[in-house]
Each structure stands twice: as C-alpha cells, then as structure tokens.
Amino acid sequence: MSHGEETDSESFPSPPDVQRRRVRPSFHLLTILLLVAAIACWLSFYQLWSETQRMESELPSLRELARELVVSDPSMYAVVRHHQLWNDDFRWRIYLPPDGNYEIHLATREIAGDLPQPKVSKPIAPGEHELELRTAPDGDEVRVEVLLDGKVHLETREPDEWDDASGSVGGSKFSANRQQQPDQPLILFHRRFSFPNSGNTVRAPDGPGRGLVLWITPDGTPSGESAPRD
Amino acid sequence: MPRIDAKHRGEGQAKVFMQRALNPLLILIAVAGLVATVVDHRRQAPIAAEYRQLSAAMGTLDITDPDRFIIRRLKTEDPFDFAWRFYRPADTNLMTRVQFFSGASSSTAGGSQGEVLLRVRLRFEDLGMRVFFKHGSGSSTSGVGNAELGKFVRSHWEDLDIQVTEVGEQIELPLDETVTLLRISVPDRLLEDLDDSVRDRLKRYTSREIKVVLGTPDALAKAGGS
C-alpha cells in the first residue's frame, strides 16, 4: 500500500509540477523557424513600405525642382518651364493631347489684356515638344524666333525701336508643371512693353501696345482677339 | 488519480492541436508577408527609378531640422554656373545680397516653407560681364561694363580665389546666421597682368569680388550686410 502510494506519487506529477509544465510551453524547431521566417517577411515588407512612402512624399517637390513634365491626364495640355538660366531664357516642355490638331501663334503688336491677332502662325503636331522663345538683335532689326524641338518654327522681325528696353509687364505664364483643359488657348508667354513716361519713369501703355505673346490653340478655333484667355 | 490522468491527456492533445494549428498559421503569415513584400517591391520599382533619376540631377536634401535654412550645392556642367537646392522654414523671410564689384543689390523672398533652386550664373560679353541671380520665382541681373575686366576674369578664372560650398555638401543654417554661398575675388598678385586703365579702375572699386550672401533680414543687418 505504501509502495503503491510511492508509485502514485512518482508516476503522477504533483499540482505545482503541472503548473510549472503549463507555463513552460515547448515548441518544435520547425515552429521556431516558421516564426522567424514570418517576422523576417513582415520586417522586410515594413522596410520596403517605409522607403516607398519616403520616396513618394519627396517626389512632388523633386519633380517641381527638376521641372519634369508630368502628364497625369493625357486628354489635357501639360506644360513645364525649364529652369531659367538667364533673364531672357524662355524654354518650355509641352504636351499636346493626341486626338487634335493645333496651331502655334506669335504676336508682337496690338497687345492688350486679350489675345491679339497673331503675326505668324503654324501648325504644331500633338505629342511632347521642346519650345523656346528667342529675341536677338540683328542689324537694325530684332529677330524673334520660336524654336520647336531645336529648329526654328516661327520667325518674324521687328525694327530696332520695337523694344526700347524701357521695361515690360508679364512674361512666362508657367513655371512648375501644370495641366490645362485643351478647349482654352494655351498661353505660354504674354508680355507688354512699357514706354518712357515723363521724368525717368516708365509705364505700361493704356491701350494695345508692343510686346510678345506666344500661344497654342486647337486648329480651326478662333486664335485672335475673340479667343478667351485662361 | 483518474482526474489527473484525464487532465494530462487533455493537455497533450491541446499541445498537439496547437502545434498542428500554429505551424500552418505561421506559414500563412510568412507567405502573406512575402506576397506583400513582392507586391510592394513591384509597386516601388517605378517610384524608385524616378526618384533615383531626379535625385541624381537635383541631389537630396535631408530636412533634419525644419526650423533651419538647409542648402546643398548641385553639380552643374558650366563652370560659370552655380546652383543650390535651398529649404526655407515656414514664415521666414530670406534676404539675398549680391555684391558684384562696386555694385550690390538685395532682394527678399517670403511665404510658405518649401524648397527652391538658387542659381548664380556669370556671362561674359563684348561689353563686359554680368551676373544672373535666380531664387525661386525672383531674379536679378547685375553687370560691369568693362570689356577688358570681363576678358581678364574669364581668362584668369582658374587663378581667381573662388570660395564656394562643395558639390553635395549640405549646410544647415540657424536663422540668426548668414551664409556666403559664393565668393569670387581677384587676388592682388593678378592685378599686374591687367592693363593700366583696368587696374586703376579695379583699384578704385570699393570691392574686387563677386559675393552672394544669404540670411534673414535681421541676420544680414547684424552681419552688416543689409
């Protein structure tokens, strides 16, 4: 009997032993490896996700700084002006939606608030283009050129007194990347020259005057003064 | 005694059950993590490509302290062209003073916080030389109408004292301090190479340097530069 009692006490753990075994769970090596693998997978995901978030948050300002053309909506115009390297440096990268025909216009006179009658116009194909507006003295004249993808696309000449360098109002309508509905004229540049006032001051003309306007319209739409401004 | 035996057997079964349930659960969690990682990696690929391309051109600016001016010089192709990425804290006015030999001009830009590009570019012309300074949306041009001086500066460019921050070096500036972005000066030893008329004129200048200094209006005033 006493032997039986001893056997009972050796065979079956006392209640404290059971409790100790409960709080000390044992795992197979496979379970531990799987746990490590699961943690590693989610840690790599977290690192990757944080890195992606960081880059995504920095990209808008980087795009603005780099003046990259971003076309979020391919049915709209997109424009970005390249960084200005000098005060007469006017270069843009533009995007024109594919399902349309367009004309580019240049005006040098009769410039007021609205769009003037163009002095020269030419078709421009849809897609992405590099545009540059240049003015340079050429003998007794001033040569005004619009370069399309590096080649002269529009050209006109004005007498030397056309711009007496008294000053001007306006300039490029775009700097950072912008998109615009294609049913409105895409006005890239709008500048009115000032003229000497009494004394040493200058002022903008009250009515239409000399200046430079460069804009793009869908082909077949009025490109002159009846066209609305943006 | 039977009561303890049943309990022990129950524990064993629970343990086996847990072991059987835990391993598939861990496999599921690991596979889900792996799939999420692969999916995010694919999503990240174009973002990372654009980020790498843009930051290669524009550098990266670590905004470690949003209450300081932060500046990093960018690489440029033209030796007469200097550019910096510049971060300005919110509601802080930034004043820029451009010294161009005897002439000096100041401009102030304010507004919301953000990054802009600063650029200083020199141009040599038949009638002299000019400097173009661009900061965000504003710009200014200064010039010296002396063709000989322009030719001299261009031909002795390598011999001039040019102090400029290193490309890629980030500068963090407390709002009560100023920073000289660029300083180009004509050393005395070079003056002998000049024509007498140009040398005399240069000696009459109050300054023989091109200098661009930035800071808040208060900081520049304190530094005696406003």
Complex ipTM value: 0.71
Region A65-71: what's the mean pLDDT? 87
For residue A187 the two structure tokens come to 């006005």
A69-78, A92-101, B137-146: which range is least confident on average?
B137-146
Residue B63 lies in a domain: no
Which residues constitute the domain of residue B11? Answer: 1-58
Does some domain include residue B7? yes
Last residue of a domain, one of B58, B77, B95: B58
Domain final residue, candidates B58, B77, B103 = B58
Q: Does A20 touch chain B (CB under 8 A)?
A: no
CA B121 – CA B98 distance, rounded (Å): 12
Does residue B150 lie in a domain region? yes
B168 plus B201 within the same structural domain = yes
How high is the pLDDT of residue B113?
64
B194 shares a domain with B155 = yes
Per-residue pLDDT at A55: 92
Residues B17 and B115 in one domain: no
Strand partners, A19: none
Q: Are residues B116 and B53 in the same domain?
A: no
Asked if residue B134 and residue B38 are part of one domain, the reply reads no
Nearest neighbour of A175 by CB, restricted to B27, B34, B137: B137
Structure tokens belonging to residue B199: 């040398």
Shared domain for B123 and B203, answered yes or no, is yes
Are B77 and B181 contained in the same domain?
A: yes
Chosen from A33, A34, A57, A70 to mutate, greatest number of chain B CBs within 10 A: A34
The larger pLDDT score, comparing residue B14 to residue A51, is at: A51
Residue B64 lies in a domain: no
What DSSP letter does each residue of B114-162 carry, written as one string? EEEEEEEEEEEETTEEEEEEEETTEEEEEEE--HHHHHHHHHTGGGSEE
Q: Is B109 within the bounds of a domain?
A: yes
Pick from B26, B41, B119: CB nearest A34: B26
**pLDDT single digits (tens) A182-207:** 888 999 999 998 877 766 777 777 77
If one counts the domains in chain B, the total is 2
Q: Is residue B32 part of a domain?
A: yes
Question: Would you place residue A9 in the very low, low, confident or very high pLDDT band (cuts 50, 70, 90)?
Answer: very low
**pLDDT per residue as tens digits for the range B178-219:** 989 899 988 888 777 777 777 777 777 777 788 889 888 888
Task: Check CB contact of A65 with chain B, cutoff 8 Å.
Answer: yes
Q: Spell out the domain ranges in chain A.
A: 2-66, 77-218
**Whether residue B38 is found in the same domain as residue B150:** no
Query: B150 and B112 share a domain?
Result: yes
| Contact at CB, B119 and A83, closer than 8 angstroms | yes
Q: Residue A91's closest CA among A171, A194, A180, A182? A: A171
Among B8, B26, B33, beta carbon nearest to A45: B33
Can you give the pTM of this predicted structure? 0.74
> B187 and B103 share a domain?
yes
Q: What is the mean pLDDT of chain A?
A: 83
Find all residues with CB under 8 Å of A60, minimum gap 6, and list them.
Answer: none
On whether both B213 and B113 belong to a single domain, the answer is yes
For residue B71, pLDDT beyond 80: yes
Q: Where are the beta strands (DSSP E) in A108-210?
A: 120-124, 127-138, 141-148, 151-159, 168-172, 178-180, 186-193, 195-196, 202-203
Q: Quick one: B187 and B151 in the same domain?
A: yes
pLDDT digits (tens, 9 = 90+) for A110-167: 888 778 999 999 999 999 999 999 999 888 999 999 999 999 999 999 998 888 777 8
Q: What is the pLDDT of residue A5?
A: 44
